[in-house]
Amino acid sequence: MPGWNINNAAGSSGPGAVTLLEGSSFCISEANGDMTAGRPQGAFFNDTRFIAEWNLTINGRSIEALSVATPEPYRAKFVGRAASNGGMDSPLLIERERILGAGLTETVTVRNYSREPINCRMELVVDTDFADLFEVKEGRPSRRWQQSRRSDGEKLILASEWKGNSHGIVLTFPGAQVQGRSFVSAFTVPAQGERAHTVTAAPLIGSRDTGPSLYGKVPGDEQSLKRITEWRTAMPVADLGDDALEKVIRRSQEDLGSLRIFNPDHADRVVVAAGAPWFMALFGRDSLLASFMSFLLDPSLALGTLRTLADYQGKEINPLTEEEPGRILHEVRLGVSTGQALGGRSIYYGTADATPLFVAVLGELSRWGLESKAIHDLLPAADRALGWVENYGDRDGDGFVEYERHTNQGLRNQGWKDSWDGINFADGTLAEPPIALCEVQAYTYSAYMGRALIALTHGDTETADSCAAKAARLKEAFNERFWLPDRGYFAIALDGEKKPVDALASNMGHCLWAGIVDQDKAGLVAERLMSPEMFTGWGIRTLASTMGAYNPASYHNGSVWPHDSALVMGGLMRYGFTEQAQAIAYGLLGAADYFGGRLPELFCGLDKASHPVPVPYPASCSPQAWAAAAPVHLIRVLMRFDPALLWNELWLAPALPPGTRFHLENVPFAGNAKLSLDIDMNSDSVQVQGLPDYVKLRRGLRPPLMELYNLTRSPRPD
């Protein structure tokens, strides 16, 4: 494989493709339930495709898809009918109920609606290639395993070995016989009756030394259902006066619940996978931003993410994996070719933004009122992260964090726009490394301020003053070096020659969100972000339509990413551009309605005026963590809900449309507290129930972090 520097988009999984999720396992199939090796489909465990072919026929004919339902993220029920000769309606209805866990179970029920019994020959073709996830995603499975097949009556065992890695799968189909690559069962379905068959598939994973062992129990839905039920019970309940909006929020809650990954060694640590189907793994940047945007639902997602990332924090210098002391990982992968490509490791560290984001999210968590011990335990990791920023991230000592991959296997671009062509000049020319992204400097500013404020609460004024001073110097240098006065916006980056990369892009909206932009420049930034070249009516384009590399149907050069637009919206609101922020929020929520209540990873950046329905991007992940979290973040920003528990305060200044009435209950706050919020814009009434006695409600917009810091360091008026 070519390592990590690949096109992040995948080929189409087929019209009506169905995705199931359970932990880090996922399954992609056709609308009728079949899976085909030649497409990016199959059942995946540990980033490896253990089921590549899974095709059902009745009397030699494929099943015609009629409908599919996914009542739970890990369970699907396919309804189809067996094709018949002569164009007549078939009396046979086929139901396939599939449950995904550490393996796969499928129950096939054949129902006969005729007045006569019908003889059936059911055949299930099953095969595997044990292809790595990256190979399937790119449509190029190439590894040649030494495969063996062994049948034992109604059981089939497929085993393979490659470079010391041993994989296998045990398939069991009671009542069927193994014939070549197929299970075959002949039976009679009585008149007006039915017959059911159940097949199970259990992966085996091992090594040359240990031999294969069962990866997990054959799945049942008890544990999965328990997890989903507990998640739903803990979620805030919303009465927002808008059925479509409530549908979007419920969908976000469900999707974030389905994307959680559970660590059996640390039951208290739950993290969010980046997205389905191709990113069902821990990603530093994605998991941090998704958990940040989900604070209104469950701050423990951020805590689990921080603790897990701290465990994997870089300790040594390794050019192959780009590991460096203090660095936060980019992603964790478990497929066998991942280790072969990256020096035997499954963790890749090539990202410039995850490390400062780690500290920034910790700062937000502290302001949300997390118990002090949890914050204290993570401070050493935060300080190591800031050490990486200064000793490795700032490659040339100019005060900015830059990136350049160490080998040609690494990612060429190491910000959130990490496709090979994601960073370019206004004329479309690619920027050459080392590259200092504008938003990475903003995240670093937020990290320094977050660490300074935590230090103040611990009485560590030396660390507080040092971090605040570094933040101030960075802000001053950023506004001087990245600002393009003749354009009225910030450069997306500085290239290897310290030349401003002058493309008009959405990245500078993240700078508003982090608070690094000088007030005198914010108005021009807001104007450019909301210009027709950037704002489609649905959201903010990643790249302006006037730029040389613009393509509305590209991955990063003109598409709309909901999480990106949501962060831009938060930045505009932070600087007081309320109407502009509202326009983005309503655009995104309106787009979600067209996508069935679920915002995808991205969609095409075409104007709403000429395309009144948002145009999908064909290979977009769905559900995707930060897209799922975006509506939650929009609601929080519209409420201007900002806990500041370092000072025992909650800032609340709703910026909702006139006439709006919001009711939210079961909102997590200050550890174990649960809040109930009632907002009535008709009477400008805000009521908060469940607020701890020691917390004061402040009706207003929370001051910037630097201002809070300065107020804290000097006598503060009540």
Mean pLDDT within 60-67? 93
> What pLDDT was estimated at residue 625?
93
Burial class (CB in 10 A: 0-12, 13-18, 19+), 718: exposed
Chain mean position to CA 365: 19
Q: What is the pTM of this model?
A: 0.88
Count of CA atoms in the C-beta half-sphere (13 A) of 659: 2
Residues 6+ apart with CB under 8 A from 163: 336, 340
Both structure tokens of 133: 């996830």
Both structure tokens of 531: 């210009």
Whether residue 441 is predicted with pLDDT greater than 90 in this model: the reply is yes
pLDDT tens digit sequence for 3-23: 444 445 555 555 678 999 887
Provide the mean pLDDT of the chain: 89
pLDDT tens digit sequence for 595-623: 989 999 999 999 999 999 999 998 888 88
Report the share of the chain in percent with pLDDT over 90. 67
Higher pLDDT: 550 or 623? It is 550
- Cis peptide preceding 612, ω within 30 of 0: no
> What pLDDT was estimated at residue 365?
94
Whether residue 131 is predicted with pLDDT greater than 50 in this model: the reply is yes
502 membership: H or E segment, kind and range: none
Unique residue bearing structure tokens 């609308």:
31
> Which amino acid type is present at position 226?
K
C-alpha 176/C-alpha 122 separation (Å) is 9
* Residue closest to 649 by CA, chosen among 602, 599, 594, 688: 688
> What pLDDT was estimated at residue 87?
60
pLDDT tens digit sequence for 566-591: 999 999 999 999 999 999 999 999 99
> What pLDDT was estimated at residue 213?
41
Is 473 strand, coil or helix? helix
> What pLDDT was estimated at residue 447?
98
C-alpha 539/C-alpha 606 separation (Å) is 10
What number of other Cβ atoms are within 10 A of residue 113's Cβ? 16
C-alpha 268/C-alpha 254 separation (Å) is 20
What number of other Cβ atoms are within 10 A of residue 671's Cβ? 13
Beta strands per DSSP E along 273-409 = 331-332, 347-348
pLDDT tens digit sequence for 279-316: 878 899 999 999 999 999 999 899 999 999 999 999 99
Burial class (CB in 10 A: 0-12, 13-18, 19+), 318: middle
Over the Cα atoms of the chain, what is R_g?
27
Whether residue 205 is predicted with pLDDT greater than 80 in this model: the reply is no
Chain mean position to CA 84: 43
- Cis peptide preceding 190, ω within 30 of 0: no
> What pLDDT was estimated at residue 471?
98
> What pLDDT was estimated at residue 584?
98
Mean pLDDT within 154-182? 85
> What pLDDT was estimated at residue 618?
84
C-alpha 457/C-alpha 231 separation (Å) is 32
pLDDT tens digit sequence for 95-115: 999 999 878 999 999 999 999
